[in-house]
Amino acid sequence: MAETAASLAGAQNVPEGSTVVGVDLTTHHLQAVKCGTLVAKATPLHVGFNLQTWQVEIHNDDRLTSVSQVTLSRVGNKDHH
């Protein structure tokens, strides 16, 4: 879920013809989840030309259940700046 949230956000920050792929993912699980609705929020820590790093928090209602750091690499058309 964390990599999906970061990838969706990251894909919005590359030019047409490019996309992003995950190259590193670190997750800290803080609370077990048995039911409820999970919501992921991706916040950019760094958005460069080729690499992006995102922090993703996942909440179940008001409880923080996990924190992830996701690094993405740009792939595809690299001619545009």
In a domain, 43, yes or no: yes
In a domain, 16, yes or no: yes
How many domains, in total, are found in the chain?
1
The pLDDT of residue 80 is 57
In a domain, 11, yes or no: yes
Q: What is the CATH number of the domain that holds 36?
A: 3.10.129.10
Residues 75/10, Cβ–Cβ less than 8 Å: no
pTM of the predicted protein model: 0.90
Which of 57, 64, 52 shows the shortest CA–CA distance to 9?
A: 52
Tokens of 72: 């993405």
Domain that holds residue 21: 2-76
In a domain, 81, yes or no: no
Full pLDDT tens readout for the chain, 81 residues: 999 999 999 999 999 999 999 999 999 999 999 999 999 999 999 999 999 999 999 999 999 999 999 999 999 976 655
DSSP state of 53: E
